[in-house]
Amino acid sequence: MANCDATHRVFDPLVAKGIQVGNLPEWTCVIGKVAYRVLKGPYEQLPKAWADFPSQALDAAGSPPRGPPGDVYLCTPTDHPDEPAKMLTLLYVPVQ
C-alpha cells in the first residue's frame, strides 16, 4: 500500500471531480474497471455518501455492474489522529 502522503498526491485532486470510471492503482487490490468516487472526511460521513452512490456510479459508467460495491480506506484514523477531515475513502462499483 502507498504511504499516506503518496495517496494524497494521487487522490486529493479527484475529491472534487465526483464519479470517475477506470482502473485503480494495483495497491488498492481492486481489479478491473470500476466507477468510483474519492471522499475526504471522517468516517461518520460515509453512510450519507453511500446512500446514492451505487446508482450514480452506474449511471456515470453507462454499464451494468459486474460485482458488488465496496470501499477502500485510503487513509486511516491512525494516519490523521487529530485531523479526521483529511482521511480519504474510495467508494467503488465494478462495471463492465
Domain ranges of the chain: 4-94
Amino acid at 67: G
pLDDT digits (tens, 9 = 90+) for 66-89: 999 999 999 888 889 899 999 999
pLDDT digits (tens, 9 = 90+) for 18-32: 999 999 999 999 999
| Backbone Cα Rg of the chain | 13
For the full predicted model, state whether its pTM sits above 0.85.
yes
pLDDT of residue 30: 96
Looking at the predicted structure, is the pLDDT value of residue 1 above 90? no
Structure confidence at residue 4 as a pLDDT band (50, 70, 90): confident
What is the DSSP annotation of 16-81? GG--EEEEPPGGGT--SEEEEEEEES-GGGHHHHHHHHHHHHHHHHTS-BSS--EEEESS-TTTST
